[in-house]
Amino acid sequence: MVVLRPCRGRVLLNGPRRLKYDGPVTDDNPVTWFEIPAADLERAKAFYEHVLGVELTVQALGPLKMAWFPMRQGAPGATGSLVQSEAYEPSHKGTLVYFGVEDIETALRQVEAKGGKVLGAKKSIGQYGFVAHFEDSEGNRVALHSTR
């Protein structure tokens, strides 16, 4: 694994190569929003509300339907939404979103109870905690992270 540390004019790596970085230097995490495709927005909304114990807010932006995850201004981490539109197709391929949870085993039981599939059991990532992968109600590959 290669970890990037931004420095003005360059990026230092803990791996074997160096890359040029001319973007802004920031202490913020770079991800600010994510979107998870949904074939059936109501089904996906019910799935994530059940698994994560949160309430999603439905928004219609023309033909684009969204269910927004909770957001707290100034809090760490990113938020995003479920999206139903012709341009969004659920998939196991592409970007993988990790949701932070208190207890991965409990969340995986919730995944299965709501029709999802466990793709990878809880595994250690050393000092950074634990992760597990699952398939949501729409067929997307998604992951969980916990420090416990």
Summarised one tens digit per residue, pLDDT across range 6-31 is 433 333 333 344 444 455 555 677 88
The reported pTM is 0.79
Q: Which CATH number belongs to the domain containing residue 47 in this structure?
A: 3.10.180.10
Q: Is the separation of the CB atoms in 65 and 41 below 8 Å?
A: yes
Q: What is the pLDDT of residue 133?
A: 98
Higher pLDDT, 11 or 37: 37
Looking at the structure of the chain, the number of domains it has is 2
Asked if 50 and 6 sit in the same domain, the reply is no
pLDDT in tens, 61-119: 999 999 999 999 888 889 999 999 999 999 999 899 999 999 999 999 999 999 999 99
Reading the block at residue 67, the tokens are 């269910």
Reading the block at residue 34, the tokens are 């994510």
Range of the domain at 103: 31-146
What count of other Cβ atoms lies within 10 Å of the Cβ of residue 7? 10
Q: What is the pLDDT of residue 22?
A: 53
